[in-house]
Amino acid sequence: MAKKLITLIFAASVAACMPAGITSKLMEKGIEARMSAERLKELDDGLHLALCGAGGPMPAPNASGPCVLVIAGQQMFVVDAGTDGTRNIGRMGYNIGDIEAVFLTHFHSDHIDGL
């Protein structure tokens, strides 16, 4: 844990010392690489599940609402659409534009507020 923290502090220090143009270019390259990645093709054929949120009905600013990503072959589906579910899907490296359908288990606000 301490080694990771030292590495993170070092990386942040180096980034802070770089001119804005270099930092901007590095960010641009990283974003391009992330956006062009095709996570679906990296998975073995089959059924895969990813939790993109597991919060509850009580307000919790640091928790994401209920959301499950289902990957069947090359198709993606979402079950429930809680707060920050799409953000988390993107953070996992999946393109939210590839989602085929959203299924809702019921209409409580914490299951639909991410629509």
Decide if pLDDT at 16 tops 90: no
* CB of 61 closer than 8 Å to CB of 84: no
Interval 76-89 mean pLDDT: 94
Q: Do 70 and 105 fall within a single domain? A: yes
* Mean model confidence pLDDT for the chain: 82
Give the count of alpha carbons within 13 A of 67, CB side only: 27
Ranking 52-61, 96-105, 106-115 by mean pLDDT, the lowest is 52-61
Q: Do 45 and 100 fall within a single domain? A: yes
Q: Do 102 and 88 fall within a single domain? A: yes
In the chain, what is the straight-line distance between the N-terminal and C-terminal CA atoms, in Å? 37
Decide if pLDDT at 47 tops 90: yes
CA 99 to chain centroid, in Å, comes to: 13
Q: Do 21 and 53 fall within a single domain? A: no
Query: How many structural domains does the chain have?
Result: 2
Q: Do 49 and 28 fall within a single domain? A: no
Over residues 21-45, the pLDDT tens digits come to 776 777 676 666 655 557 777 888 8
Q: Do 73 and 89 fall within a single domain? A: yes
Q: Do 106 and 80 fall within a single domain? A: yes
What is this structure's pTM? Answer: 0.65
Looking at residue 27, its amino acid is M
